[in-house]
Homo-oligomer: A and B are copies of this chain.
């Protein structure tokens, strides 16, 4: 009689696949794409190197999928924030804050996902991520312009600048490497103000907008 895969077996497999995908995030967050080797990922996942190749055809595709997964999660979070009720400025402030707080908790990973070059397949996945983030921001900016909240501007360019501004502000060497919570909070607020002013084109009082709730 033919062997039929039980649900339990399916589950274990999915778990193993996911363990590997999680391991990629852990390793990339530690050493970046440049230093991430397949053997490290296998170790971190508690599987053999060969097992990695049983589930993924190549390093590039594995990393691309891992990156994409992570990206989709971030995009979902930001989409939720952006879709909330409120003025464009409020929603934009919330988006910047949520992105910043999440990135600050995993700077290395966030940097790798935003900027670190890798194989073409991985880069492609990154483009999707950045594109999605950019579109969300672009949408809010368009809304703001339409509502007369924001002055006329190129929404695409502004969105790109926003992404750059908060990435650099967070992971760039100009930002102190401090992990002190108060410093981090102050930094994120400074960045938020910068971004809001840039888009809204007017003086933004600190804490003019309530900080968004940050969920894992």
What is the interface of chain A mostly: helix, strand, loop, or mixed? helix
For A48, the closest partner residue in chain B by CB is B3
**Copies of this chain present:** 4
Q: Which of A60-68, A71-79, A192-200 contacts B (4 or more CB under 8 A)?
A: A192-200
For A168, the closest partner residue in chain B by CB is B164
Does A109 touch B at the CB level, under 8 Å?
A: no
* A38 CB, nearest partner CB in chain B, Å: 15
1/0 per residue, CB under 8 A from B, across A154-181: the answer is 1011111111111111001111100000
- Contact status of A195 and B161, CB under 8 A, knowing A48-B3, A167-B168: yes
Please report the C-alpha to C-alpha distance between residue A18 and residue B34 in the assembled complex, in whole angstroms. Answer: 29
Interface residues, chain A, CB within 8 Å of chain B?
Answer: 3, 32, 34, 48, 115-117, 127, 130-131, 134, 151, 153-154, 156-169, 172-176, 186-187, 190-191, 193-195, 197-204
In the assembled complex, 30 residue pairs joining A and B whose CB atoms fall closer than 8 Å, in A order, are A116-B116, A116-B117, A127-B173, A130-B174, A131-B173, A131-B174, A134-B172, A151-B197, A153-B194, A156-B175, A156-B176, A157-B174, A157-B187, A157-B190, A157-B194, A159-B174, A160-B174, A161-B166, A161-B168, A161-B169, A161-B195, A162-B165, A163-B172, A163-B174, A164-B165, A165-B165, A165-B168, A194-B198, A201-B204, A202-B202
